[in-house]
Amino acid sequence: MNKWSGRAFAVFAGLALAITLGVSMAQPATGQVPYERIVAADSEPESWLTYSGNYASHRFSRLDQINAGNVADLRVVWAYQMDEGLIETTPIVADGVMYVTEPPSAVTALDARTGKRLWKWTPQMGSDVLHIGFPEVNRGVAILDSTLYVGTLDAHLVALDARSGAVRWDVEVADNAIGFALTLAPLALDGKIIVGVSGAEAGVRGFIDAYDPETGELVWRTYTIPAPGEFGSDTWGGNSWETGGGSTWLTGSYDPELDLLYWPIGNPAPDWNGDLRPGDNLYTDCLLALDPDTGEIVWWFQFTPHDTHDWDANQIQVLVDAEWEGEPRKLVVTANRNAFYYVLDRETGEFLHGTEYSKQTWAEGLDENGRPIVIPGTDPTEEGNLVWPSLQGAANWFSPSYSPMTRLFYQPTRIMGAIYYKAEVEYEPGQPFMGGGEQALRGEEASGAVKALDVLTGELVWEFPLQSPPWAGVMATAGNLVFGGSDEGNIFALNAETGEPLWNFQAGAAVRSGPMSYEIDGQQRIVNSAGGTMFVFGLPEDGRGPG
């Protein structure tokens, strides 16, 4: 079925060479991508205009040329080898041009037909850039009109001309010397570019920013840790709020009808020693609904109060319109890192339903308000305490997918426990501030799966087992397929209704990115990455095949 080896990409004619500094090979690239195009992304399936495919974060392609009947015929059309690092990015595609980030913060424009590089921009960063508690990665760009927006490892937000890669403006979002960084794909709204920061493991105070897309001027900033006198400040003991963490390093979702921005918030600091920060520690481990014009918090929901396992809430928040108890309801659903699946009303933040979707040993369940009923004795200890899930969680940053055709929520799931340790720690700027550690279970005691859940109940419909806990996202398509990847280097396609494996490509390196799809010259393409290589797959040129 699969005639390509993991090394086959080395001979592809479309394999692009790397240029290390500045902008090169500039050519005219894209047309205009105004807000109106992005908000109507579902009607433009030939493009992929945002990190998650649309503002609702469905990561669902409405293209169906590649389907359950012909996916076995997929082969590599072209591939792109990056300079360095492990790819965690999701490309965007507009008007025949693909924009992709390269570790740690470079941006490259490629001809979406052939993979030929049009230009590359590389930021000039020093060798002493801090990245405490996370790797040197970048997960993507945003596009608005004719400008690309990218965050950098040294905590800058940069605007680039999409046609040439020339810098239009460059602003410092925060001080990298004390641990701030930008690794997420920004989110482009009407007249605003939204970004969040990494850095909780260095004891920073997290925030979400909005910037003017034309000038780079800061429009608003919302801190995720309330200062004394602000709502929620009583959930922090003493001065612990000053180093409270709450980073915002994953791209949010947006409802243009409600005009609400949904942003997940990371763990409190220090990670494992909760004695140093008594209280529920708002707004860590929360989902915030924000007014995108002002940054005002409209509502919040906390998944794991007083988190002592570094579970945070930095998972993709998926917006779904559905009937709930016989009435139409606007919902937001998420598979949290703490191993529970949640259904919330996205207008009000009301908790509607929650259920365990992966092995966990820290809570008896959720109460009527969605608050976990914590099992005593499950916090980290100096001697070590075995708890499921591990610090990487049952889910993590990698993307789920929602199919409006099957009404299933597809979640790559990590099934792994860990021994958690608590230790004393004092805050020093620019140094790790974690208060302990963990030792994850390995080998036969750790595994993974792609799980298909009923979107309203979280009930398991099917699962596709994986040898080890995954770090790769998934994408469902109108061709009745779910694409995903594994740490063993497999890029695969499953039947979206049953989970039956239909196609596999052994890429020769771990898959750590999220798949996407686009169409060029009437031909659907599937994109996924393994190691430092991005692969673009398509059907044979002589037709669409059976199905």
pLDDT in tens, 495-540: 999 999 999 999 999 999 999 999 999 999 999 999 999 999 999 9
pLDDT of amino acid 135:
87
What 3-state DSSP class applies to 39? helix
Stretch 113-122: mean pLDDT, rounded? 98
pTM of the predicted protein model? 0.94
pLDDT (tens digit per residue) in 336-387: 999 999 999 999 999 999 999 999 999 999 999 999 999 999 999 999 999 9
Residues 133-152 as b or e (16 or more Cβ within 10 Å = b): bbeebbbbbbbbebbbbbbb
pLDDT bin (cut points 50, 70, 90) of residue 20 is very low
Q: What is the sign of the dihedral through the CA atoms of 41, 45, 46 and 50? A: positive
Could you tell me the two tokens for 163? Answer: 């046609």
- Residues in CB range of 348: below 8 A, 6 or more apart: 299
Stretch 76-100: mean pLDDT, rounded? 96
Q: Are strands 475-477 and 60-61 parallel, antiparallel or unpaired?
A: parallel
pLDDT of amino acid 9:
33
**Closest to 475 in 3D by CA, of 463, 483, 485:** 483
pLDDT bin (cut points 50, 70, 90) of residue 126 is confident
pLDDT for 23 beyond 60: no
Stretch 486-500: mean pLDDT, rounded? 99
pLDDT of amino acid 30:
56
Stretch 109-127: mean pLDDT, rounded? 96
pLDDT (tens digit per residue) in 25-34: 444 345 799 9
Stretch 65-94: mean pLDDT, rounded? 96
Kind plus residue range of the DSSP H or E element containing 35: helix 35-39
pLDDT for 7 beyond 80: no
Among the residue ranges 10-19, 132-141, 206-215, 472-481, the one predicted with the least confidence is 10-19
pLDDT for 430 beyond 90: yes
What 3-state DSSP class applies to 318? strand
pLDDT of amino acid 127:
85
CB 331 within 8 A of CB 322: yes
Q: What is the sign of the dihedral through the CA atoms of 398, 211, 256 and 148? A: negative
Among the residue ranges 127-131, 138-142, 146-150, 264-268, the one predicted with the least confidence is 127-131
pLDDT bin (cut points 50, 70, 90) of residue 83 is confident
Kind plus residue range of the DSSP H or E element containing 322: strand 318-324
What the chain holds in terms of domains, given with CATH numbers, is 8-538 (2.140.10.10)
State what percent of residues in the chain have pLDDT above 70: 93
Active-site residue list: 310
Task: Please measure the distance between the N-terminal and C-terminal CA atoms of the chain and give it in whole angstroms.
Answer: 17
Average pLDDT, the chain: 94
